[in-house]
Amino acid sequence: MRGILASLVLAFSLNTPTAYGQNIAKDFSLPSVRDNTLIRLSDYSGKVVLINWWRTNCKWSQAEAPKLVALYKKYQPKGFVIIGISDDTADTVAQAPAYLQKYGVTWPVGYNDQAEFMRDIRPLGQGDTPGNYLVSRSGKIRYLGLDRSPDAWQRIESSIEGVLAEPVPAKSPIIRSEPTSAPDFDLTDLLGKHVQLKDLRGKPALVNFFNSQQTCDWAEPAVVKVNQSYKSRGFQVVGIDVGRDTDQSIQGCKTKYSMTFPILHGTDQVQQAWIGNNSAWAAFFVTPDGKVFKMIRDSIDNGLEGTVFSKYAEYMLSHK
């Protein structure tokens, strides 16, 4: 079910008219594969950025890796940057650090968190690996295609050489994304107690929307892991059921995954204010001052929530 929903979202995006090469790239952040820092596109504004979409068990990605290393060494002194994004799923993601070491990858590499990159940039391409997106010094982005044909790599390198010749803009072309205020809510838990957004103030939090009958199994193990691992360090987790389910149904989901954090009854108003639609699942990381730091509204089968959620919890605890 998760994969079907993601495919529908992607199909809609691919059919949306886009002026390729004319759009200014939108900022995105990703958790680093190497540590608990974030990789932001806006940090490299004014440089030429190649966004490389790859996967550890993709033979084409493996064949491309040495060429990327050579390209990086050749053009980095001229203002060239590569940002790698792993398309791995939960069954292969553990191989990512060893992959980077094996091929001598030294540029920033992040995990796919199913957030801004997937919403705003990924639809420009085809989804297969290895795919490359080029951001010029002026911030314009275009999809370069797949590196799978004999002449594909020459086209990629020629495109990079062309935009490297552009002058560095006086003003940063890529606007840095900043946290926005989270919508207020006043909801009741399973015991009838009222819980409001302001009750979460002072500590970072994960607000997880779910439907106990449809999406209970989507990411609850990852959410529970965050609660168990970081509650003692002041991290909060709150679940909001958007299925208007009975207490019995919600309790069944809660018991299945040993949820010890508050579960609230959602409303249409809160669901629309936070998610923006009637989706049955979404996760929001909220700062201690009540702002949405990361919004993840989509998911895939065998996704990386287990890896990504912990990365964001660690980051927020170290930057609160």
CA distance 26 to 49: 13
Mean pLDDT of the chain: 92
What global pTM score does this model have? 0.91
pLDDT the model gives residue 100: 98
How many CB atoms sit inside 10 A of residue 143's CB?
Answer: 20
| Residue-level pLDDT at 148 | 86
Task: With a cut of 80, say whether residue 46 has pLDDT above it.
Answer: yes
Specify the pLDDT at position 306: 96
Per-residue model confidence (pLDDT) at position 149? 82
Q: What is the pLDDT of residues 126-161, one digit of tens each?
A: 889 999 999 999 999 999 998 888 888 999 999 999
Amino acid letter, 142: R
Q: How confident is the model at residue 260 (pLDDT cuts 50, 70, 90)?
A: very high
List, in sequence order, the alpha helices (H) in the chain.
2-14, 59-75, 96-103, 116, 152-164, 216-230, 247-256, 268-274, 305-318
- Domains, the chain, ordered by start: 13-164 (3.40.30.10), 180-318 (3.40.30.10)
- Going by C-alpha positions, the residue among 293, 54, 298 that lies closest to residue 178 is 293
| The two three-digit tokens of residue 270, written as one number | 């809160």
Which range, of 5-14, 190-199, 218-227, averages the lowest pLDDT?
5-14
pLDDT tens digits for range 56-84: 999 999 999 999 999 999 999 999 999 99
Q: In this model, does residue 241 exceed pLDDT 50? A: yes
- Give the integer Cα–Cα distance in Å for 138 and 301: 36
Q: How confident is the model at residue 20 (pLDDT cuts 50, 70, 90)?
A: very low
Please state the rounded mean pLDDT for residues 253-267.
Answer: 96
Percent of the chain at pLDDT exceeding 70: 93
pLDDT for 12 beyond 50: no
Q: What is the pLDDT of residue 10?
A: 39
Predicted local distance difference test score (pLDDT) of residue 127: 86
pLDDT for 15 equals 33
Number of Cβ within a 10 Å radius of residue 255: 9
pLDDT tier for residue 14 given thresholds of 50, 70 and 90: very low
Are 155 and 145 in contact by the 8 Å Cβ rule? The answer is: yes
